[in-house]
Amino acid sequence: GISLKGRDMIELDEYSTEEIQFLLDSAIELKRKQKNGEVYQPLKGKTLGLIFEKSSTRTRVSFEVGMFQLGGHALFLSKNDIQLGRGEPISDTAQVMSRYLDGIMIRTFGHDNVINLAKHASIPVINGLSDMAHPCQVLADLQTVLEHKGKLKGLKMAFIGDGNNMAHSLLIGGAKMGMHVAVASPEGYMPDEGIVKLSEEIAAQTGGKITITHDPIEAAKDADVIYTDVWASMGFEEEQAEREAAFADFQVNEELVKAAKPDYLFLHCLPAHRGEEVSEGVIDGANSVIFDQAENRLHAQKALMVALMA
């Protein structure tokens, strides 16, 4: 069988297609258990630290609740309330926390912080969002698409918007699962070239495909999944006006989704800004699965925590 015990989750490229499929199957099974009211506590006595350098609704609540449901305990550690915020090195933080905890989740700006924490910690480190990646979100996203479409391989997933953390993890996670991932971003907001190259290499092995374009209609054409995210991510708030101008032609609205398959799914990691990156009609329309997707953060991360920590 597959064992992921002791591993980190920094980005999905470190995981094989089979390992990701294992996590998705496990998430679906844990969801079934929870809906049936079955108590399942393989993390009894275990603790997970949650370091947050940025705001969060879904990530914080789903990790805290997930840990509780699995019989363990989660500690919310706002960066400004721990010595890390006063300059204690991340390497010392990692080593100290490794003496108390069974795992650490970190949400931070610099992706290097996640890598450094994992390098110096002797316990699993989970990336709860960095400026480069959001793998936990993409596990939930893949679970959601799998539940609604019955498969992942061969489906076309279009991401329309900022080529940053969400685009990157969707490129890698989608490629791993043999999907066609199409990203449409404006000039100056294209996904990282190294990530694009990596996702192309992965897709070549899995039968997936990568399309990178400036044309939202090309990306959306015949798509099974249309995905978008905010135009100004956390840390980029002061660029709001400039980004509204740059992304003006990249709104996911009734006109754009005409290019997609009639039974396309609309996904958004949330939080969303109706009337900016997505029209109200699309995000609140019949094809939108945003709340299934948000719910699946809980199930997917429970699967991840059990796999890494039990």
269 is catalytic: yes
The answer to whether residue 171 forms part of the interface with ligand NVA (CB under 6 A) is no
- Binding partner at 165 among ligand CP, ligand NVA, none, C-beta below 5 to 8 Å by kind: ligand NVA
Rg (CA), the chain: 19
**Which one among 17, 21, 34, 56 touches ligand CP, defined by CB under 6 A?**
56
Q: Is 86 annotated as ligand-binding?
A: no
The residue nearest ligand NVA at its CB is: 233
249 is catalytic: no
C-alpha to C-alpha distance for 15 and 201, rounded to whole angstroms:
14
- Between CA 4 and CA 35, with CA 58 as vertex, the angle to 5 degrees is 70
Eight-state DSSP code of residue 177: T
Cβ partners under 8 Å of residue 266, min gap 6: 225, 226, 227, 252, 257, 278, 282, 283, 285, 287, 288, 289, 290
Residues recorded for the chain: 310
Binding mask 242-281 for ligand CP (x = CB under 6 A): ---------------------------xx-----------
The answer to whether residue 139 forms part of the interface with ligand NVA (CB under 6 A) is no
Q: Is 57 annotated as ligand-binding?
A: yes
Q: Which of the ranges 96-104, 175-183, 225-233, 282-290 carries the binding residues for ligand NVA, by CB under 6 A?
A: 225-233
| 278 DSSP β-pair partners | 252, 274
- Binding partner at 113 among ligand NVA, ligand CP, none, C-beta below 5 to 8 Å by kind: none
C-alpha to C-alpha distance for 216 and 185, rounded to whole angstroms:
8
Q: Token digits for 215?
A: 């044309």
CB of 170 to ligand CP, least distance (A): 13
CA proximity to 179, closest of 135, 144, 225, 148: 225
List residues binding ligand CP (CB under 6 A): 56-59, 129, 137, 269-270
Annotated binding site for L-ornithine: 165, 229, 233-234
Annotated binding site for carbamoyl phosphate: 56-59, 83, 107, 134-137, 269-270, 297
